[in-house]
Chains A and B, each alone.
Chain A
Amino acid sequence: MRILPVLALITIAACGTKKPAHQILHVDIRGMKYVPDSLAVRVGDTVEWTNDDFVPHTVTSSAFDSKSIAPHSTWSYIATTPGDFAYNCTFHLTMVGAIIVR
């Protein structure tokens, strides 16, 4: 029965080192820009883009593609793969952004 205290210790230790929950991070699309245009996230985090412009936009990279996001709509992506992902709007090519997944 000496195993019980050990288990309890393991549980406490596990709780102590518990990683913070995955976050939801926001990017606004307004004035034909991504704000912020660069964002560092961790694997498992969710990035949410909200189109505050009056025209549709996309969030498109090698790893993800929102397709058309209507004005005043939101699209989200769960970061699953570490790496640097530059993205752009396929409609308005001057619009560029990046997420850095660690």
Chain B
Amino acid sequence: MRTSILLVLSSAALLALAPSCNKKKAADSATGSGGSAPVVETAPVTGSAGSAAAPTPPPAAGPSDPQIAAIVVAANQVDIDAGNLAIKKTKNPEVKKFAELMVTDHTAVNKGAVELVTKLKVTPEETDASKGLTAGGVEARDKLDKLDGAAFDKAYIDNEVAYHEAVIGVLTTQLIPAAQNAELKSMLIGVKPAFDAHLEHAKTLQATLEGGAGASGGSAAGHKM
């Protein structure tokens, strides 16, 4: 079973955020580097390679506030949809409880994000990154939907671990530093502890499933991203 593919799908879209969001600005400024961006790149602040000389303040690279808004909504929706699928499919009460929590929490975060963005009169702007997230989420769910029982539980929770690790990474290194509006930035910072808690919860479940459900057989191999 290709569970490793599942892990990569949604998180790959997240990890691709930086290059795809920067693409527009790069094209605006100088000779656009054109080509397709590598998928895994969590480059921190340093940004453009440019001149290594004077300590000029780095330009606000990364997504704009409207783009951040669209990314946040898309990222939350991906996990809401995955959670709803898990609620429908799983027979494991702990997995179900986790899935319900994901639906509740990410729905609440999206509600807060939409309310804030409406108040700020920011219109979310779709980008390759937000579209990629949504598409990756659909693809991951299609794969998950084909699994059942312990194999489903394991793939879903593995995916949740990978997803939250990717979200937290992008939130910390891309979205929070790039946010211009103070309230938006504060919201992104405020949301992170919840995502950290989700990740810990998912990891605990992952360990339980791996320990207890050794019966799920061969698919325990290769959970690498």
**B108 / chain A contacts, CB cutoff of 8 Å:** 54-56, 70-71
- What 0/1 pattern do residues 173 to 196 of B give for CB contact below 8 A with A? 000000000000001001101101
**Mind listing 9 A-B residue pairs with CB under 8 Å?**
A31-B190, A53-B193, A54-B194, A55-B108, A56-B104, A71-B111, A91-B104, A91-B105, A92-B101
Query: B104–A54 contact, CB under 8 A?
Result: no
- What 0/1 pattern do residues 54 to 69 of B give for CB contact below 8 A with A? 0000000000000000
Query: B190–A30 contact, CB under 8 A?
Result: yes
Contact A53/B194 with A71-B112, A91-B101, A91-B104 known, Cβ cut-off 8 Å: yes
Name B residues whose Cβ lies closer than 8 Å to a Cβ of A: 101, 104-105, 108-109, 111-112, 187, 190-191, 193-194, 196-197, 200-201
- What 0/1 pattern do residues 21 to 39 of A give for CB contact below 8 A with B? 0000000001111000000
CB contact between B112 and one of A33, A54, A91, A92 (< 8 Å): that residue? A54
Give B189's nearest chain A residue, CB to CB.
A31
Interface of A is mostly: loop
In the assembly, what is the distance between CA of A94 and CA of B200, in Å?
10
- Find residues 32-78 in chain A having any chain B CB closer than 8 Å to their own CB: 32-33, 52-56, 70-71
Query: Could you say which interface size class chain A belongs to?
Result: 10 to 19
> Measured between C-beta atoms, what is the minimum distance from B103 to chain A in Å?
11
Sample of 20 further A-B pairs with CB below 8 A, known A56-B104, A56-B108: A31-B190, A31-B193, A32-B193, A53-B193, A53-B194, A54-B108, A54-B109, A54-B112, A54-B187, A54-B190, A54-B194, A55-B109, A55-B194, A70-B108, A71-B112, A91-B101, A92-B194, A92-B197, A92-B201, A94-B200
**A30 / chain B contacts, CB cutoff of 8 Å:** 190
A-B complex: 6 closest residue pairs judged by Cβ atoms:
A55-B105, A32-B193, A31-B193, A54-B112, A55-B108, A55-B194
Give B110's nearest chain A residue, CB to CB.
A54
**B197 / chain A contacts, CB cutoff of 8 Å:** 32, 92, 94
In the assembly, what is the distance between CA of A52 and CA of B112, in Å?
11
**B193 / chain A contacts, CB cutoff of 8 Å:** 31-33, 53
In the assembly, what is the distance between CA of A70 and CA of B179, in Å?
26
Query: A53–B190 contact, CB under 8 A?
Result: yes
In the assembly, what is the distance between CA of A71 and CA of B190, in Å?
12
> Measured between C-beta atoms, what is the minimum distance from B197 to chain A in Å?
5
**B190 / chain A contacts, CB cutoff of 8 Å:** 30-31, 52-54
Give B106's nearest chain A residue, CB to CB.
A55
In the assembly, what is the distance between CA of A31 and CA of B201, in Å?
16
**A91 / chain B contacts, CB cutoff of 8 Å:** 101, 104-105
> Measured between C-beta atoms, what is the minimum distance from A47 to chain B in Å?
22
In the assembly, what is the distance between CA of A33 and CA of B121, in Å?
31
